[in-house]
Every structure is written in C-alpha cells, then in structure tokens.
Chains A and B, each alone.
Chain A
Amino acid sequence: MEWNDEGVVISVRRHGEMAWVVDLLTAEHGRHAGFIHGKNKNRERNGLQLGNQVDARWRSRLIEQLGTYNCELIKARSAILFHDPIRLIAMSSVCGMCYLGISERVPCRDVFDGVIRFLDALEQGKQWYSLYVTWELELLSQLGFGLDLKSCAITGRTDNLSYVSPRTGRAATSEAAKPYCDRLMPLPKFMVDREISSPAFKDILQGLTITGHFLERNLMQPQGRKFPRARLRLIEIMSSVNPESESVSSK
C-alpha cells in the first residue's frame, strides 16, 4: 500500500531515540498515523512540529499496519507563531481537537479545508478569535453534530435569535425563549450572522462555552476523553487578556 497526500501535523510522539509516531490530518485520508525513522533525517524531524503542513508519502505492506511516513515540509506554520503565545496555543488547540475528536482513517476533506482556512487566518493574525469559534462550530457540523442556528425552533423566525438549547442545539428568539431562558444558553450574534467580523470579547468567550458544551457532549465524553489542555489554556488566556475590550477584530 502506498499513497501520497497533503497533511497537517496534529500529533508527534517520540518512539525510542530516533523515531517518531506522527499523526497527520490529511486531505484525502483523514487522520492518519505513521512511523518515521529519524536516523539522519534532521531536516525531516525539524519539520515535524504541530501545525506544519507537509507533503506525506505513506507506505505499508498491509493497509491495517501503522506504516511509515516520508514527509516533506510545505509550510512551516509553527515557526511563524513561536513569538505569539496566544496564537501558538490556538494552533495547538486546533491540532489537539483534531487529534482527540476525529476518528482515524475516515476521510474528512471538509475538516482538513477548515483547518487550513483557520491556520491561514491565524498566520495573518486578523479576526482569528471569532474564526476559532466558527471553526469549532464547523467541526461539529462536519462530524455530524451541527447546531441549527438558522431559525427559531419554536416560531421558525430567522431574526432576533438570542438563545440556543444545550439539549437540541437549536436556536430560539428572545421572545419565544422567555419562559425557558434560564435553561438556555445565550447565543452571541456573530455565531448567527457570519458578517459580524469584530464581535465583543465576552461574545467570543460565550461562543466558546457553547461549542465547548457540544464538543464535550458529542466528541469527548463518548470516547472518555477530556479537552486538550491547549483549549483550556486558550480560554484561560483569552479570559485574562482584556475582558473589557469591546472588539477583538485585529488581535
């Protein structure tokens, strides 16, 4: 068996002294692990950093085996973010969520494209806070646990959507949700209207609370897993950076 594909490094584990087991999120083959013999491959080893985009060749005698990778660096994304603690942790969080949340060897082109789009935005450093929430929202949708935020579950109206049900993941207008609002989660406007590019800080944190609830319930808990530490750290940093800030459009 042999294939060639493009991938993003989402996990690197050392195996012995000079070898690694690497997980890539590939364009055509989903999350796929492989073994890398590291002897005399310093250049290849240097490229095996989380978030880096690589051209990977996977080989194995049988398809069910771990197989070996030969990776060539396409884009060194991690090195660009080394100086920025928040963006670096956001990239780690995306990699961690993919590693823990996505099943192995199931093609998921949409997830790969979403990750590349987010990493591009992260590299440019503009509006990435809200895009992170959007990316998690899309991840839920791509894995079959999408939230229905297009119309009110009770009235069918598409305007003034202000709450989301933590049980069904469906939106509700403020009027329709009045009797139940203590049991619903406030829904930030930017999650409904993607045109809002500079949401307030508290809205982004609320967005992360919503996506966190559904990611935990649908992806983490069924597999007995916990969120990657990077996601928890990202929220911790974002909560402490500038809670009074009205807008985070160009952080």
Chain B
Amino acid sequence: MTGSEINQAVELLAKLPGLGPRSARRAILHLLKRKETLLLPLADALTEAAKQVRQCSHCGNLDTTEPCGLCLDISRDRSTLCVVEEVADLWALNRSGIYRGLYHVLGGTLSALDGIGPEDLNIARLIKRAQDQEFREIILATGATVDGQTTAHYIAEQLNSQNIQVSRLAHGVPVGGELDYLDDGTLITALNSRRPF
C-alpha cells in the first residue's frame, strides 16, 4: 500500500514518454531510496527548469535565455539557417556538431488529414526572418515523410521570391546500412539522389 502522494507521483511519471505505470513505480521507488542524492536534486532541477525555460522568440528552441544560447552564440555562421520540425530535431542536429549555423523550429508539419495548415506552424515567422536577416542558404531539414516533404515544398515556394539558396537534406542509404535490408522507399530515394563518384 502506498500514500496518495506516491500514487500521484507515479501517475504523473507514467505520463512521460517511454514510461508506463509499472516502470513509473520502479522509478519512483528508485528515487525515494535515494532521496538526498537523486530525488531532491531532481525536484529542484525540474522546478528551476519550469521557472526558467522558455521558447526562444527567434528560432523556437527551448532555453533559459531569451534569445536562446544558439541564437546568441556569435561564433555560429549567421548566413545559414536550418529549418527543423521539432526542438528534438534541433537538438539531434546540434549534437552531431557538423552544422554551425542558426536554426528555426516549425513546431510540426503541414498535415492534410489532421488539418494542420501554414498558420498553425512557425512559417510566417520564418519568412519574416528570411526577409529581415541576410541568409545565404536555408536548409530544409524536415523528415523524409509525405507531410515533411509537403512542408518543405511549401516553404521552398514561399521563399522563392527571395534571393536565397534553398536546399534540403539528402535521402538515401543510412551509414552502416546494407542494401539488402533497406526498404524500397529508401532505395528509390537513394537512387534518385545519387551523385557523381
């Protein structure tokens, strides 16, 4: 038997991605056993994050500063902008360390069936950013899905009138991928996007 506070904590934790009621209960038990070293620091960190973290008004990233650390970083290349669907995509690209330009988070993709239109995404802000700042290149890093590519085409069309090079991520064979194990869609896009050796 457990108290209502523990039950509430389990219920809340079970709402997190990747956790169900059983794993949430295990996590809570683990935290309670390490109250001083884990539970209280975690509670403090979460409270602090809830107070401080906000969405950057420039790029849509989540950070404690406004504008965010990436937008403020003067060492970044301000002539390129990478457009991503979600903050998770931004973090993934930034983690790779290969891209040193600025970002723009759309907040999703256009969806024909879910009724998500351009006005529901940060597209107007992107177009304004492209007009106000002098970008040399805008990279459309949306997913290789029908909705992701439809969104990319829409943005490319909106940026058409501006003198900016618009590119998109390549589609094809993943690093470490063997052709025999790839699905037909990946093989088709890989062949379509082939380049001279």
> Would you call A85 and B112 a contact (CB within 8 A)?
no
The 3 residue pairs across chains A and B that have the minimum distance between CB atoms: A76-B185, A85-B153, A230-B112
Tell me whether A188 is interfacial, beta carbon within 8 Å: no
Chain-A contact segment, one of B22-30, B97-105, B144-152: B144-152
One digit per residue, 1 when the CB lies within 8 angstroms of any chain A CB and 0 when it does not, for chain B 125-162 equals: 00000000000000000001110011001101100000
Q: Tell me the bound Cα distance from A100 to B186 in angstroms.
A: 29
Of A11, A76, A229, chain B has the most CB atoms within 10 Å of the CB of A229
Q: Tell me the bound Cα distance from A85 to B160 in angstroms.
A: 14
CB of B142 to closest CB in A, whole Å: 11
> Interface of B with A (CB < 8 Å)?
17-18, 110-117, 144-146, 149-150, 153-154, 156-157, 171, 181, 183-186, 188-189, 192
Residues of A contacting B181 with CB < 8 Å? 43
> Would you call A88 and B184 a contact (CB within 8 A)?
no
Q: Tell me the bound Cα distance from A49 to B171 in angstroms.
A: 15
One digit per residue, 1 when the CB lies within 8 angstroms of any chain B CB and 0 when it does not, for chain A 1-23 equals: 00000000001010001000000
- Contact for B188 among A76, A85, A89, A230, CB less than 8 A: A76
- Contact for B146 among A83, A91, A99, A226, CB less than 8 A: A91
Report the count of interface residues on A (CB-CB < 8 A). Answer: 33
> Would you call A82 and B171 a contact (CB within 8 A)?
yes
CB of A93 to closest CB in B, whole Å: 7
- Contact for A79 among B17, B111, B154, B189, CB less than 8 A: B189
Residues of A contacting B116 with CB < 8 Å? 229
Q: A78-B146, A96-B113 are in contact. List 8 more A-B contacts (CB 8 A).
A: A17-B18, A43-B181, A47-B184, A49-B145, A82-B144, A82-B192, A85-B157, A229-B110
> Would you call B113 and A88 a contact (CB within 8 A)?
no
Nearest CB in chain B to that of A43: its residue: B183
> Would you call B189 and A73 a contact (CB within 8 A)?
no
Residues of A contacting B18 with CB < 8 Å? 17
